[in-house]
Chains A and B, each alone.
Chain A
């Protein structure tokens, strides 16, 4: 690991030591954040998988119903009965914060509780297979909305975990070792300077003594 390009001074070392301390604290906190995010993510993604399997099976079932319906009705009649929807499904969008990740909360806005309300057509000229198809699709709707909420949350959390993981790794494997090594380098440099000035002083003292008294301290 490369030593940073700094002046080997005591002041610089104190500064680096402080930075190292901050980096260590940040590393610990980010690691905790990553672990907690991961725990929640795994839980959510498991739930997501179950729900997706359920919804996909239900949608396939709906499709069968629609195929049945189209077998007994003409294409035009069916399309025109389905086109004119009476209501629009509204979604109340909220937000929830999971470990600093903003995830959406979707809740269906209920227009009316009347069960017949879901059918956009009169019953006179349509087959009951179509009623089955529409009501089955209507019953999947809450699950579909829930699936959208969970899947979006998973998507956002996966991205956040990836970012946090990168940060943790760069602190752990790059920043902190670099600080440590630079501090070690400065400490060694300072010691070396210390030793060299001490030997210089000893040498000067020898020379001065010899000059003044013709006296040598050499052993």
Chain B
């Protein structure tokens, strides 16, 4: 089963991804990111959907639908504005969910 990769973000952060064969979905309106994600993920063409951290945070509700499915994997990446540590925080949340408290990266 061959699928593609998508990236959602503001034009500044994702402009290069098109060149390496990733489908770009521009989203300059942060409020729209949830709907956009829903539309893209429901099409089932994509195995991986990268999102800039800002948009990733805003679309928590839409993401929860795909959390239990094997694909698509929705993965946060830092945007051009700099790394806000949301990806790292997400790992801590995983550990917290599994163990009960963050015993690995707690700080």
Interface string of A58-96 (1 = CB under 8 A from B): 011011001000000000001100110101111111110
Contact B19 A120 (CB under 8 A): yes
Indicate if A162 sits at the interface (CB-CB under 8 A). Answer: yes
Q: What residues of chain A lie closer than 8 Å to B100, measured between beta carbons?
A: 165
CA distance A55 to B48 in the complex (A): 15
Contact partner of B48 among A82, A148, A156, A162, CB < 8 A?
A: A148
Interface residues of A (CB under 8 A from B): 38, 41-42, 45-46, 48-49, 52-53, 55-56, 59-60, 62-63, 66, 78-79, 82-83, 85, 87-95, 102-104, 106, 109, 111, 118-120, 133-134, 137-138, 141, 144-145, 147-149, 151-152, 154-159, 161-162, 165
Q: What residues of chain B lie closer than 8 Å to A83, measured between beta carbons?
A: 18
Q: How far is the CB of A150 from chain B (nearest CB, A)?
A: 9
Q: How far is the CB of A139 from chain B (nearest CB, A)?
A: 9
Indicate if B43 sits at the interface (CB-CB under 8 A). Answer: no
Q: How far is the CB of B64 from chain A (nearest CB, A)?
A: 11
Interface size on B, residues (CB 8 A): 40
Q: What residues of chain A lie closer than 8 Å to B34, measured between beta carbons?
A: none
Contact A92 B70 (CB under 8 A): no
Contact B71 A89 (CB under 8 A): no
Q: How far is the CB of B43 from chain A (nearest CB, A)?
A: 15
Contact B78 A59 (CB under 8 A): yes
Contact partner of A45 among B3, B16, B95, CB < 8 A?
A: B95
Indicate if B73 sits at the interface (CB-CB under 8 A). Answer: yes
**B interface majority secondary structure:** mixed
Contact B73 A151 (CB under 8 A): yes
CA distance A43 to B25 in the complex (A): 34
CA distance A42 to B100 in the complex (A): 13
Interface centre among B50, B68, B95, B104 (most CB of A within 10 A): B95
Contact B70 A159 (CB under 8 A): no
Contact A52 B91 (CB under 8 A): yes
CA distance A13 to B102 in the complex (A): 43
CA distance A91 to B90 in the complex (A): 24
Contact B16 A82 (CB under 8 A): yes
Contact A103 B70 (CB under 8 A): yes
Contact A93 B3 (CB under 8 A): yes
CA distance A80 to B88 in the complex (A): 34
Supposing A93-B47, A104-B47, A148-B48 touch, asked if A52 and B15 sit within 8 A by C-beta, the answer is no
Q: What residues of chain B lie closer than 8 Å to A137, measured between beta carbons?
A: 16-17, 19-20
